[in-house]
Structure 1
């Protein structure tokens, strides 16, 4: 029972942090404000998270899980592999638009040990779900691919690369604005169009 109570409190903290981060931005939110929202002491927050960065990462992990589950659902219900690949981009667009104030792109540029490890796991998860879609495309007679895993890795890496190469004036202290993000999405769709043409059966 005690463990459940701790888990519930941790979830309440994450929900309060997510609400604040989404509305005001992660960098502009203080631990005091989150504690006030929860009617608890700041010390209570530090019992669960050593600092705001750890809380920020935990919030990102929480919403990322829902994001990946939605993409994996798309990968399991394939009637057209090409459509599923486009839908993955749209799912990503909706997710990032909804949570843009969480400063996701700043985190993506952070190469410290823990974050680097999480980014590797996330990348592999994306490769795996793209592999599932491409294998479905082969089974449906849409795609002619000898190595679905390698092909998926190439697509994911190329798509990820556009997140950083399209905005040519973004610094380590800024995040993508709406215009830059829209440009990234359009480039990703254009890349996918060319890619699908290349692997069509």
Structure 2
């Protein structure tokens, strides 16, 4: 009886290990696909990259890619989610280690600038023009996360006496909405669905920095 019970337990544990290994292999393959897609999208642009090219880079069949992602659009979204996590993690690191709240807010703008410069070929703004329910949900999560980061920095500034703000959360929300809104209000000679060129991008970042300077002066008054 004990032998049978031990044998049954061994079989169950074996199955658990196999499932875990399969899950790890799937996660590893998913990461490899996203890394390959990111390299292609960053170098050539998402629109000009094909599933065949990504499959060739990975030395696998296109069918293997479809096992993980139903189409290139789904893969594109997954790539954006992957790099967005890195983007937010870097900003959150700034918010956790605030020595100067002013400098932390300036660094967040710089992180945004570096991020968009590095990934300008990912066509981030085009995919936001006709967002799916999934994208809308991710956009809402991103906005809340960014507001939380700015709230944390502003609260640190209030605690240190650097800022004089009664409602850090509301101020942070206004700042985030205003800064992000410049992406759509500054361009007046291009279609909303077009990607930013270097000149327009520089203009938007410059105005974001100017706007931040105004906010900081107001918070210090």
Q: Give the structure-2-normalised TM-score.
A: 0.89
- State the 1:172 CA deviation: 4.4
- State the 1:105 CA deviation: 1.5
- Matched residue of 2:164: which SS? coil
- Find the counterpart in structure 2 of residue 108 from structure 1: 128
Whether the 8 Å CA contact 1:166–1:184 is kept in 2: the answer is yes
Higher CA-based Rg: 2
Within a 5 Å distance, the mapping from 1:64-83 to structure 2 comes to 64-83=84-103
- Find the counterpart in structure 2 of residue 130 from structure 1: 150
- Find the counterpart in structure 2 of residue 59 from structure 1: 79
Moved more, 7-16 or 110-119: 110-119
Q: 2:217 aligns with which of 173, 176, 197?
A: 197
User: Does 2:171 correspond to 1:120?
Assistant: no
Query: Aligned residue pairs: how many?
Result: 201
- State the 1:107 CA deviation: 2.4
User: Does 2:191 correspond to 1:171?
Assistant: yes
Point out where structure 1 has 5 or more consecutive residues left out of the alignment.
Answer: none
Q: 1:22 aligns with which of 38, 42, 49?
A: 42
Q: Could you tell me how far apart the structure 1 residues matched to 2:141 and 2:84 are?
A: 12
Q: Could you tell me how far apart the structure 2 residues matched to 1:113 and 1:52 are?
A: 17
- State the 1:109 CA deviation: 2.7
- State the 1:111 CA deviation: 3.1
Whether the 8 Å CA contact 1:135–1:148 is kept in 2: the answer is yes
- Find the counterpart in structure 2 of residue 86 from structure 1: 106
Whether the 8 Å CA contact 1:110–1:116 is kept in 2: the answer is no
Q: 2:179 aligns with which of 144, 151, 159?
A: 159
| 1:99-140: CA deviation from partner (whole Å, max 9, x where unpaired) | 100011212333321111100000000000000000000011
Whether the 8 Å CA contact 2:55–2:62 is kept in 1: the answer is yes
- Find the counterpart in structure 1 of residue 17 from structure 2: none
Q: Could you tell me how far apart the structure 2 residues matched to 1:141 and 1:149 are?
A: 17
Whether the 8 Å CA contact 2:46–2:123 is kept in 1: the answer is yes
CA RMSD of aligned residues (A): 1.0
